[in-house]
Amino acid sequence: MREICVEIGGVPILLRTPDSNFRKLIEQRYAGFVGTANNAQSSFDIDFLPVGASRAEVPAETDDDGPSIVVKHDGRKWHFERGDFHAEWHAGTGQGRIALAPSPYGIDAILRIVHSLIQAGQGGFLLHGASAIRNRKAFLFSGVSGAGKTTISRLAPPDATLLTDEISYVRCESGKYFACGTPFAGELAALGENAQAPVERLFFLAKGAENRIEPIGQADALRMLLRNILFFADDSELVGKVFRTACEFLDRVPVSRLTFYPDEHVWELVQ
């Protein structure tokens, strides 16, 4: 078995595959996020589905993991299924197995699910949105498809460290929230930097004729935040945890609407 440890948000996950080429593929895909196996608390043994066994062709990478993925808990283990993979994971022991078509897209989806479940239990979350560090402070930019996540990432000035243009990783540590870089890329097709910083502000993006920041009411902010948190599992206990996490995040982090005209001047408001 060839091992490789992918560490995102300070959470190392060990992947074992008998195929050296696939290991190399994972190493290239997650370059910058490859850690050491010593402290991995979760691990997956990977097997390939027999040729023709995957239900659909390997999907293109999109920002919508939701409808096609089934995530269930049977009382002992989590089960994740999509056309091109099925996997199981025991949250208590951290042990899991994956059977997939030999493509990193399936690994990408499984990592997002596992991290969303881990963070749901630790007061953090994964968010549909870009994020960047500027002046040692992290800014999150969330919004529906087309709101401008990729655009604002593309316009980032040289002094900004781009954490992701697609899936932001928010970790809670001693009541403080940190944004971490992720390898989950969107249209920008560039991995984020493997860095982290305290979250200064969450912006919900909208494109407009001018740049302006407006306040958002707490109720609207909660509604928008919940709409953009990645959450796959149909599990009532975890739903409650995610709700409480969103409320606690809003208690501590300012949230605003950032309407912007797509040129670099928008970053004058983000610092």
SS3 label, residue 92: coil
Of 51, 76, 236, 268, the residue at the interface with another protein (CB under 8 A) is 236
2/20 Cα distance (integer angstroms): 6
Strand partners, 11: 8
> How many whole angstroms from its chain centre is CA 122?
15
Residue 244 contacts another protein per CB under 8 A: yes
The stretch among 103-111, 162-170, 197-205, 216-224 that binds another protein (CB under 8 A) is 216-224
The stretch among 14-22, 99-107, 146-154, 235-243 that binds another protein (CB under 8 A) is 235-243
The stretch among 18-26, 80-88, 100-108, 214-222 that binds another protein (CB under 8 A) is 214-222
Of 159, 237, 263, 264, the residue at the interface with another protein (CB under 8 A) is 237
Distances (CA, A) of 234 to 78, 138, 225: 11, 30, 18
The β-bridge relationship of strands 137-142 and 255-260 is unpaired
Angle between helices 236-252 and 218-228 (to 10 degrees): 130
Residue 218 contacts another protein per CB under 8 A: yes
**Cβ-based neighbour number of residue 219 at 10 Å:** 9
| Helix, strand, coil percentages in the chain from 3-state DSSP, rounded to 5 | 25, 35, 40
What angle (nearest 5°) sits at the alpha carbon of residue 204, between those of residues 203 and 205? 105
Question: How many residues touch another protein (CB under 8 A)?
Answer: 14
Nearer to another protein, 155 or 222 (CB): 222
The minimum distance between CB 231 and another protein, in angstroms, equals 8
**Cβ-based neighbour number of residue 61 at 10 Å:** 16
The minimum distance between CB 258 and another protein, in angstroms, equals 20
The minimum distance between CB 242 and another protein, in angstroms, equals 8
142/119 Cα distance (integer angstroms): 18
The minimum distance between CB 236 and another protein, in angstroms, equals 4
The minimum distance between CB 235 and another protein, in angstroms, equals 8
The stretch among 22-30, 39-47, 105-113, 219-227 that binds another protein (CB under 8 A) is 219-227
The minimum distance between CB 122 and another protein, in angstroms, equals 17
Give the interface with another protein as residue ranges (CB under 8 A).
217-219, 222-223, 226, 236-237, 239-240, 243-244, 247, 250
